[in-house]
């Protein structure tokens, strides 16, 4: 989530529900999703652990519920917008998580994402990131969207490449997860206006 010292990144809000192709939707994350999200994270720890610091150990349901509540508060404050990928045919389950994060400075949002191993390579990440890119650039005051990933995370880097993002730079960063190299690609999409 964004720095607690900052105010809203935008006075607008993205849609709370974004239907995607392939029978899934992006839904605004709520505390009611905590159990399904926790189960999906726990089932995908081996898949997530190489790239995500927070996946080093299984979260408790209480911790996931607390994070979901913080996500609701961040949405209401206009600093971060957290989503879950939910199959339309199984509205009580979760197959991935996405967010628009206000942690990269004024006029910009960063998209973060993961999709469970059983749902990878189906175009979900690309469709969801594309929909969130459009939603972010439609918000008042947002002129740039970024996607950051380690330079060796080939599946993650394929998403911005497919969407027409421009590789702005590769930056040296602190290694926080086991597979990270400390070299982060920063992909950028700017508003045409």
pLDDT tens by residue, 168-182: 999 999 999 999 999
* Residue 117 pLDDT: 84
Does pLDDT of 4 surpass 90?
Answer: no
* Residue 6 pLDDT: 64
> Pseudo-torsion of CA 123, 127, 129, 132, nearest 10°?
-160
Domain spans of the chain?
17-190
Q: What is the average pLDDT value for the chain, to the nearest integer?
A: 93
pLDDT per position as a tens digit, 6-59:
688 998 999 999 999 989 999 999 999 999 999 999 999 999 999 999 999 999
Which tops the pLDDT comparison, 31 or 123?
A: 31
Q: Chain-centre distance of CA 151, in angstroms?
A: 18
Mean pLDDT of 127-143: 97
Mean pLDDT of 95-102: 96
* Residue 121 pLDDT: 75
* pTM score: 0.93
Tokens 């089932």 correspond to what residue?
43
* Contact residues for 64 (Cβ-Cβ < 8 A; gap 6+): 34, 35, 37, 38, 41
Q: By mean pLDDT, which of 43-52, 74-83, 116-125 is the weakest?
A: 116-125
Q: Across-strand partners of 83? A: 28, 98
- Rounded alpha-carbon distances, angstroms, from residue 148 to 5, 112, 187: 22, 8, 6
Task: Give CATH for domain 17-190.
Answer: 3.40.630.30
Going by C-alpha positions, the residue among 24, 28, 52 that lies closest to residue 118 is 24
Tokens 């947002």 correspond to what residue?
142
């Amino acid at each position: 989530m964004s720095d607690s010292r900052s105010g809203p990144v935008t006075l607008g809000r993205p849609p709370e529900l974004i239907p995607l192709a392939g029978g899934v939707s992006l839904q605004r994350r709520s505390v009611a999703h905590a159990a399904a999200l926790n189960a999906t994270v726990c089932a995908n720890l081996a898949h997530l652990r190489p790239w995500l610091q927070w996946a080093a150990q299984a979260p408790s349901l209480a911790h996931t519920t607390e994070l979901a509540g913080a996500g609701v508060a961040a949405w209401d404050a206009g600093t971060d917008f957290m989503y879950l990928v939910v199959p339309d045919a199984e509205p009580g389950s979760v197959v991935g998580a996405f967010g628009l994060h206000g942690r990269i400075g004024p006029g910009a949002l960063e998209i973060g994402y993961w999709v469970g191993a059983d749902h990878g390579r189906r175009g979900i990440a690309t469709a969801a990131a594309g929909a969130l890119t459009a939603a972010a650039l439609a918000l008042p005051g947002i002129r740039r969207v970024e996607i950051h990933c380690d330079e060796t995370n080939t599946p993650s880097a394929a998403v911005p490449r497919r969407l027409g993002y421009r590789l702005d730079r590769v930056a040296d960063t602190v290694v926080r997860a086991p597979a990270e190299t400390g070299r982060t690609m920063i992909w950028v999409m700017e508003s045409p206006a």
